[in-house]
Each structure stands twice: as C-alpha cells, then as structure tokens.
Amino acid sequence: MSIKVLVSDKLSEEGLAILQKEKGIQTDVKTGLTQDELIKIIGEYDAILVRSGTKVTKEIIEAGKKLKIIGRAGVGVDNVDVAAASSKGIFVVNAPEGNTISTAEQTMALMLSLARKIPWAYNSMEKKEWDRKTFEGSELYDKTIGIIGLGRIGKEVAHRCKAFGMKILGYDPYLPEEQADILGIKLATLDEIYKNADIITVHTPLTDQTKGMISTKEIEKMKQNVMLINAARGGIMVEEDVKKALVAKRIAGAAFDVFSSEPPKEYLFTGLSNCIVTPHLGASTGEAQVNVAIETAAVMVDFFKKNVVRNAVNYPSIAPELYEEIKFHVSLSERIGKLLSSLQDGKIKEINIRHQGDKAGKAVHIMKLSVLKGILEPILSEATNFLNAPIIAKERGIKVNEIAQEIDKDFPELIKIELVTDKGEISASGTVHQNGDYRIINVGEFEFDFKPVGNFICVQQSDKPGVVGIIGTVLGNHNINIAEIQLSRNSKGQNAMTFIHVDGEITDTIIKELTKDEKVKNAQLVKF
C-alpha cells in the first residue's frame, strides 16, 4: 500500500524530488487550501509537509485519522499544534539546520545596518543629499553583544561576532560552560546581559517562557545606547514597549525581522529614524529554501523507509549512526515489554528498567520509550507509539524508573524489565550479542534462550510428566506446527514455564484447551 504525503505549501523542486523518487510514496502538491478544504482531504494522508503558510490546527489533526508525521520545512513550528499532534501520537519534525546560516547572516546584516545607519543614509542619497554628519555610525569592534539563546543560529551569530572583534555574552541554561569557552562566549545571566551589552539579539523559540521576555521592565535595565535585534520569533520582544523606548530615545535603535502578527496588523515602526524592519527574511535565501526542503523531505523518507525519527520537536531525535549501533537494543526492549504485558495481571503501577553495557547505556532513553510502547500497545485500544506512550503512562499514573547497574557478569549487554502491578511483580531479561542477535534469557526465575520473533505460547505448569505431550496433542489437533520449544523449571517437581514458538495463528479455543488439564496452570499468547 502506498504512503500518501500531502505538500500544502510551495516547496523547492529539490525537496519534492527526494519524495517523488521514492517507490511506495505518493506525493500530492496542493497549495493554497483553506482550513475547511484541508480538513476534508487530510484523512487520506499519512503525512503533511508545510512551510509557514499552512496552519496545522487541532481540527486538522483530529481529521487526519491516518496522519503519522507532520513536517515543517523550516525551524519554527508556531503554525503546528504540537500538543494536539503529540496526544495523537503524531510526530512533528522540522529542519533546524537548513536556514541556520541565512538567519545568522540576516542578524548580522541588521546589526551592521543599524550600527552604520545604512537605510537612512541610502534614503538620503536617493534624495540627492550628501549628509555625512547625520549618519555617523558606530563600530562593532570591541562592543559587547548579548546573545540570548545559543542554539544553532545563536552559535553562528557568536562565531561571526567574534570575527568582528566583539565581546560576547551569552545566555542559555542548557549550554555547558566548557562548550561556551570553546566558542569564546562568556555565559551570563539575563540581568548581566541587560546591564552590560551594547547590542542584544534573541535566538530562542517562542514559548510561554520567552513570550514577552523583553518588555519595558527589561529595557529599563539596559544601557542608554543599546541596540535590540529580533530575527528569531515575533512576540519575544513586546513591540509596543520597544517602540516607546525608541521614541523616547531610551535605546539607540532596534531591528525587527519578525513580528507578533505577520503580516503586522499595525505597522508600529514606520517613520522612525532608529528602527529597521524587514518582512521575515531570515530564511529567505535561495540556498535556505532549498536546504530546508531537502532536509525535511529526507527526514520523512527516513521515517517511512527506515523507521528512524530525526529532527522531531516532540520526540527525542536520534542520529542514524547511533540508531544503527543501538537498534537491536531498541527492538529487544519493545519485545520484552510485549512479553510482560501479555503475562502481567492487575493494574500496572511501576516499571523498572535496569541495564548494563555501553550500548544499553547509550540507548536507555529510547529503550524507555520502546518498553512503554511494548507494554501499553497490547492492552490499549488507542494507537500507541514511541511518542504518545509516555503521555499515556503518565495519565495512568505509571511510574517509570531507569537504573544503570551490573546485573549479570556473564552478559556484557543486558536489559532487565520489572513490571509492578497491584497484584504482584513480574520481570524478564534479554541480551544483545555482538552480531546483533537478541535473546530472551529469563522470565522471572526461569532461564531461557530464544529470539522473541513471531507467535509464542507461554505455558505455566507443574513440573510433572505429560505436560509437553498435552501441548503437542492440542496443537496437533488444530494443525499448528511447533517451530521451537523451550522449557525451564525452578526445581524438580515444582513449577515450570514453557515457551512454544508456533507457525500458525493461535485462537482462544486453543488456549482454553491447553488449560483444561490441571497440570497446566496458565497459557498466554505472546505476539512479538
């Protein structure tokens, strides 16, 4: 069956070509759709790729019954209801690198234009005036720039400011000091930046925390000659407050490439001789438009063809090379989760994920998501995936613990999952060998060695003669072939557990027949 991708905004031909050349992916380009028109057709599609024009609202997401991924060809995802997508298990991906250079260069262009008063000098020359005195500017050399947000773009701005001989203060609560030192950035608090910076530029996403973060209150802490630049997201600076400061000459200048409303409902800054405005040109280079289209299209291909999630804003992305290293651990984690989900009894209260080994350590966060998906998917009617599994677990009050410890010296790479319910506890362990072969090695106190792939019957029985015969007879009567059988016991004559790998489908009737004999305590179908 073909995967259908809807491209609802204009995309470069280079990006479209990546999707169109893939077999099994049907790409439909339908631009200029209204919300109602999009709602009517979105149910046909597995993915939608947008730029800034299309608003992917909650209503569209609700109507997208087949949607698995939303791609934004650009950095910001303000036009996508990420929370609604996450609750439905839909991945939202962007192109964080494609327009990095173009936005950093736009920031520098605004900075230089503001410092050297280039727009007003040009306008004067257009009037055939020669006025050098009025347009005396200031150098960037030896000035202090405050960069708020040191992600990809913020770092590129810092790199260029360093070349201009500027002193760089940076604010980013997630950037390690060692990395800042390498970049030539002195980490500072916001108040330190407000107090000491000659130029302040913001490079953060628009969030509840960053919305309106620079207002009159913050401006009052700044130097009289400070210049403000926003080429990130409209709304980070309170535009009305900045205008008041510009008119009152409380600050020297400002430059805006982005606005809280685009296009602006009110052009606040027209006619000011100390403010530069541009119509959101940060990513408006030919190179950037091609790059973001290529990046987003490639991410979608990887998603559908390789089951790899990159550049997700609502899911921890994983580099392809790392995924190749840990993919067997991820698969094993999910399958142990499925096993425990099939065998558990009662309401799940807690999940403990214990792991040992270098690769298991690298994969632990993705393993956590895999375990949750494996446990929840068989017992819930709603669609469960790596994305919404943590949300579902939290809603149900399930506590998840990750524990790194030495569990078994005989296995360099080991994953042990413990499932705690209101009726007891059950655990299972697995290992990944150097060749990528992954195996279940124990369930509770019972030792095994089998690969969890295919349909299995797990039989819990008394360790008495005849049980294997009962199993074989029942399956034979239903023309079910046994591919593999493994039996383990805790001690002679006590309890035993058997895993039977079968070729056919197992019905409820077969399970009931297996448990008719008193020696068989329980039988469960486990689908890996």
Distances from the Cα of 138 to the Cα of 112, 143, 213, 409, 466, angstroms: 9, 9, 27, 67, 94
Instruction: Decide which of 260 and 311 is more confident.
Output: 260
The band of 216, judged by pLDDT with boundaries at 50, 70 and 90, is: very high
- Judgement on whether residues 417 and 500 belong to the same structural domain of the protein: no
Rounded to whole angstroms, the Cα distance separating 202 from 256 reads 11
What pLDDT is recorded for position 114?
A: 96
The band of 316, judged by pLDDT with boundaries at 50, 70 and 90, is: low
Cβ within 8 Å of residue 341, ≥6 positions away:
374, 375, 376, 377, 378, 379, 419
- Judgement on whether residues 120 and 260 belong to the same structural domain of the protein: yes
- Judgement on whether residues 130 and 70 belong to the same structural domain of the protein: no
What pLDDT is recorded for position 440?
A: 96
Give percent above pLDDT 70 in the chain: 97
Residue 361 predicted with pLDDT over 70: yes
- Judgement on whether residues 445 and 363 belong to the same structural domain of the protein: yes
- Judgement on whether residues 112 and 26 belong to the same structural domain of the protein: no
Rounded to whole angstroms, the Cα distance separating 161 from 201 reads 11
Mean pLDDT of the chain: 90
Residue 385 lies in a domain: yes
Instruction: Decide which of 243 and 326 is more confident.
Output: 243
Closest CA to 206 of 320, 313, 363, 330: 313
DSSP 80: B
Beta bridge partners of 64: none
Distances from the Cα of 389 to the Cα of 312, 337, 368, angstroms: 16, 12, 10
- pLDDT, one tens digit per residue, over 54-71 is 999 999 999 999 999 999
- Tally of domains within the chain: 4
Catalytic residue among 233, 329, 354, 501: 233
Distances from the Cα of 173 to the Cα of 97, 228, 232, 379, angstroms: 21, 21, 18, 40
- Judgement on whether residues 84 and 173 belong to the same structural domain of the protein: no
DSSP 378: G
Residue 318 predicted with pLDDT over 70: no
The band of 194, judged by pLDDT with boundaries at 50, 70 and 90, is: very high
Tell me the mean pLDDT in the region 362-388: 77
Q: In 38-121, which ranges are E strands?
A: 47-50, 69-72, 91-93
Catalytic residue among 129, 262, 445, 505: 262
CA 388 to chain centre: 12
Place of tokens 């602006």: 264
DSSP letters for 267-305: -TTTT-TTEEE-SS-TT-SHHHHHHHHHHHHHHHHHHHH
Q: Give residue 9's identity as a one-letter amino acid code.
A: D
Rounded to whole angstroms, the Cα distance separating 287 from 102 reads 8
- Judgement on whether residues 142 and 191 belong to the same structural domain of the protein: yes
Residue 120 lies in a domain: yes
DSSP letters for 140-165: -TT-EEEEE--SHHHHHHHHHHHHTT
DSSP 379: G
Closest CA to 252 of 228, 269, 276, 268: 228
What pLDDT is recorded for position 377?
A: 80
Measured N-to-C along each axis, helices 286-306 and 100-115 cross at an angle, to the nearest 10 degrees, of 150
Q: Give residue 518's identity as a one-letter amino acid code.
A: E
Closest CA to 174 of 215, 140, 198, 204: 204
DSSP letters for 306-352: H----SBSSS----HHHHHHHHHHHHHHHHHHHHHHHH--S-EEEEE
Active site residue 280: yes
- pLDDT, one tens digit per residue, over 84-140 is 888 788 889 888 778 889 999 999 999 999 999 999 999 999 999 999 989 999 999
Residue 263 predicted with pLDDT over 90: no
What pLDDT is recorded for position 359?
A: 81
- Judgement on whether residues 128 and 259 belong to the same structural domain of the protein: yes
- Judgement on whether residues 392 and 458 belong to the same structural domain of the protein: no
- Judgement on whether residues 112 and 235 belong to the same structural domain of the protein: yes
Q: Are strands 167-171 and 186-187 parallel, antiparallel or unpaired?
A: parallel
Residue 1 predicted with pLDDT over 60: no
- The CATH number given to whatever domain includes residue 499 is 3.30.70.260
- The CATH number given to whatever domain includes residue 30 is 3.40.50.720
Q: Is the pTM of this model over 0.85?
A: no
Active site residue 262: yes
Rounded to whole angstroms, the Cα distance separating 88 from 384 reads 9
Catalytic residue among 280, 439, 478, 489: 280
Tell me the mean pLDDT in the region 411-432: 92
- The CATH number given to whatever domain includes residue 341 is 3.30.1330.90
Range in 74-88, 421-435, 441-455 the model is least confident about = 74-88
Q: How far apart are the first and last CA of the chain?
A: 23
Residue 402 lies in a domain: yes
Residue 283 lies in a domain: no
Give percent above pLDDT 90 in the chain: 59
Residue 59 lies in a domain: yes
Residue 312 lies in a domain: no
- Judgement on whether residues 135 and 233 belong to the same structural domain of the protein: yes
- pLDDT, one tens digit per residue, over 225-240 is 999 999 999 999 999 9
Place of tokens 């209101």: 422
The band of 319, judged by pLDDT with boundaries at 50, 70 and 90, is: low
The band of 320, judged by pLDDT with boundaries at 50, 70 and 90, is: low
Residue 483 lies in a domain: yes
452 upstream amide cis, omega within 30 of 0: no
- Judgement on whether residues 340 and 363 belong to the same structural domain of the protein: yes
Helices (H), 386-507: 389-395, 467-477
Residue 302 lies in a domain: yes
CA dihedral defined by 512, 513, 514, 515, rounded to 10 degrees? 60
Active site residue 233: yes
Rounded to whole angstroms, the Cα distance separating 304 from 297 reads 11
Closest CA to 11 of 47, 37, 36, 43: 47
Pair 443, 435: CB distance under 8 Å: no
Instruction: Decide which of 155 and 492 is more confident.
Output: 155
| Range of the structural domain that residue 403 is part of | 318-452
